[in-house]
Amino acid sequence: MLQRCRRENIKIYTMPKKAGAKSAKAGQPVKAKKRINKAKPVKISSEPKAKSSRRFSRLRGMRDVLPEEYKYWDLVIKKATELARAYDFKTVKTPILESLELYNKSTGKDTDIVAKEMYSFIDKNGDKVALRPELTPSLVRAYIEHGMFNLPQPVKFFTLGPIFRHEKPQAGRYRQSYQFDIEIFGEENPVADFLIILIAYNFFRELQIDVQIQINNIGCQECRPEYIQKLVEYYKARGNRSKLCNDCKKRFTRNPLRLLDCKEAGCLELREEAPQVVDYLCDNCREYFIKVLEYLDELDIPYSLNPYLVRGLDYYNRTVFEVWPIEEEENETSISQQGALGGGGRYDGLVEHMGGRPTPACGLAIGVERTILKIKEKNIPLKKDTANLIFIAQLGDQARRKVIIIFEELRRAGYRVRQAFTKNSLKAQLEEANRIGAKFSLILGQKEVMDETILIRDMDSGIQEVVDFKKARAEIDKRLANGD
């Protein structure tokens, strides 16, 4: 036993041998015998020495979600799932790790997300891989890889999971964050764009967060080139280009559209006179844009046209939008500086660009952490789901054994039971029952075990009633049905 333990590097303590005990059998290593007698731990060669032990901290920009916060997550995940179901989106899960090339080709290798923020590395096979910086590319890959163009269209996906971006951490901006994401594949009707905006709006409204939709239309393959041409001419003229920030100087050659959403003061000033994309939309895109806006008007969804909104990803065409929280400041409303809560748009060329059949598509992603920050910031009360909670308490070991069985029976039968089996004091157990908002407690002590009865204590009034054990279930049902 000792030898096996040593081989497996397990630290064991053994008692000293009693006087007169038999000596070790022949063949047993002498060293081991010595250790047994001295009752010393068997040292492990690979075990870290006490001196070098260190406390680990989470990585910068990464967060732990502890129970106190998880109740907000619960709420947000429930709302996202409920809406996705209501609008008939099917849940999918894709891997967190994908090939690097997937993002180079879809999100765009010159975008900030891919060029500056992506966690990419070479794995043990020598393959270039990346932790997903967004969910859309994986969903597009899955749609193509599983031949979903053969299914009745549109195909509607819902997913919720982590993304990774090596950004400068600050409130609401993390290196690992979660997105609630929906995508519609195979639908070119503007009502699909409206539908995803409606879901975003409903999500926030039902979580009591006031938001405004900012929307733009960035044209299509037909009309955008002419607009880009005009934009480039504008920035070239009058030496404007030299006034751009360093990032924008690069964007000027790689993706001039992105000059419009730079937040640097000098670039903001320059763009004021820049040509606007809506003035260059082809008839189809203009008509399309108007239809989306008409649907929004129809449902009174507050939006504002933002001619500078282009979004930082390569794949969009036509509709792009973002959801911004509205801040209430003493009789004034303004748009938050903390960042968008969500964003999305149409990407009709991406599925084909990624090797699939031509498939119109649009989608949306909402940041879970930013949503939770807003709920907390606004002190939006969480509804406690304490309806019909039954607490089961025990006094003494015999009662505890019985209570464990009762608890399991009731739980399996669908009752909402709670317990504190590890506690001995009845007072402590009843405090716990009050803390969680139990409707009543079932209490079993030595006497009740002997008499085959159980105490039912109403947690509001404190009134206790002794009930014959055989009739307990009927009494529980009566109290739950009465709402007593």
193 near ligand HAM, judged by CB under 6 A:
no
Specify the residue, 184 or 392, whose C-beta has the smaller distance to ligand HAM.
184
Minimum distance from CB of 366 to ligand HAM (Å)? 6
Within residues 314-373, the interface with ligand HAM by CB under 6 A covers 340-345, 363-365, 367, 369-370
177 near ligand HAM, judged by CB under 6 A:
yes
Specify the residue, 190 or 342, whose C-beta has the smaller distance to ligand HAM.
342
- Which residues, in sequence order, are CB contacts of 248 under 8 Å at separation 6+? 258, 259, 262, 264, 267
Specify the residue, 98 or 181, whose C-beta has the smaller distance to ligand HAM.
181
Minimum distance from CB of 216 to ligand HAM (Å)? 14
- Which residues, in sequence order, are CB contacts of 76 under 8 Å at separation 6+? 180, 207, 368, 371, 372, 375
- Which residues, in sequence order, are CB contacts of 324 under 8 Å at separation 6+? 211, 212, 213, 214, 335, 336, 340, 341
Among 17, 79, 109, 173, binds ligand HAM (CB under 6 A): 173
Specify the residue, 107 or 429, whose C-beta has the smaller distance to ligand HAM.
107
Looking at 52-60, 93-101, 128-136, 265-273, which segment touches ligand HAM (CB under 6 A)? Answer: 128-136
Q: H or E stretch including 453? A: strand 453-458
Specify the residue, 94 or 136, whose C-beta has the smaller distance to ligand HAM.
136
Q: Minimal CA–CA distance to 371: which of 335, 344, 340, 345? A: 340
183 near ligand HAM, judged by CB under 6 A:
yes
Minimum distance from CB of 385 to ligand HAM (Å)? 27
- Which residues, in sequence order, are CB contacts of 446 under 8 Å at separation 6+? 395, 396, 398, 399
CB contact at 8 A, 390 and 438: yes
Minimum distance from CB of 129 to ligand HAM (Å)? 19
Among 104, 106, 136, 359, binds ligand HAM (CB under 6 A): 136
Question: What distance in Å separates the CA atoms of residue 433 and residue 113, rounded to the nearest whole number?
Answer: 49
C-alpha dihedral, 33 to 37 to 41 to 43, nearest 10°: -40
Within residues 214-233, the interface with ligand HAM by CB under 6 A covers none
**Residue 1: DSSP 8-state:** -
Minimum distance from CB of 207 to ligand HAM (Å)? 14
The one-letter amino acid at 178: Y
Minimum distance from CB of 359 to ligand HAM (Å)? 14
Distances in whole angstroms, Cα of residue 333 to Cα of each of 55, 212, 283, 299, 325:
45, 11, 35, 21, 10
Specify the residue, 104 or 179, whose C-beta has the smaller distance to ligand HAM.
179
Within residues 414-443, the interface with ligand HAM by CB under 6 A covers none
Specify the residue, 70 or 421, whose C-beta has the smaller distance to ligand HAM.
70
108 near ligand HAM, judged by CB under 6 A:
no
- Which residues, in sequence order, are CB contacts of 477 under 8 Å at separation 6+? none
Tell me, by CB under 6 A, how many residues bind ligand HAM.
Answer: 24
CB contact at 8 A, 352 and 161: no
Specify the residue, 181 or 187, whose C-beta has the smaller distance to ligand HAM.
181
CB contact at 8 A, 212 and 333: no
Minimum distance from CB of 213 to ligand HAM (Å)? 12
Among 36, 131, 144, 181, binds ligand HAM (CB under 6 A): 181
- Which residues, in sequence order, are CB contacts of 102 under 8 Å at separation 6+? 130, 137, 138, 141, 354
Radius of gyration (C-alpha) of the chain in whole angstroms: 32
Among 179, 216, 306, 394, binds ligand HAM (CB under 6 A): 179
Minimum distance from CB of 363 to ligand HAM (Å)? 3
C-beta nearest to ligand HAM: residue: 367
Specify the residue, 365 or 449, whose C-beta has the smaller distance to ligand HAM.
365
Among 174, 201, 288, 289, binds ligand HAM (CB under 6 A): 174
- Which residues, in sequence order, are CB contacts of 312 under 8 Å at separation 6+? 111, 112, 113, 258, 261
Minimum distance from CB of 93 to ligand HAM (Å)? 16
Specify the residue, 241 or 353, whose C-beta has the smaller distance to ligand HAM.
353
Q: Which two tokens stand for residue 202?
A: 């409903």
Specify the residue, 172 or 445, whose C-beta has the smaller distance to ligand HAM.
172
Minimum distance from CB of 151 to ligand HAM (Å)? 19
Minimum distance from CB of 56 to ligand HAM (Å)? 23
CB contact at 8 A, 304 and 213: yes
Cβ atoms within 10 Å of 194's Cβ, excluding its own: 21
Question: What distance in Å separates the CA atoms of residue 266 and residue 239, rounded to the nearest whole number?
Answer: 13
473 near ligand HAM, judged by CB under 6 A:
no
Buried b (16+ CB within 10 A) or exposed e, 88-121: ebeebebeeebbbebbbbbbbeebbbbeeebebe
Among 141, 165, 271, 439, binds ligand HAM (CB under 6 A): 165
Among 69, 167, 261, 377, binds ligand HAM (CB under 6 A): 167
Which chain residues interact with ligand HAM by CB under 6 A? 134-136, 165, 167, 172-174, 177, 179, 181, 183, 340-345, 363-365, 367, 369-370
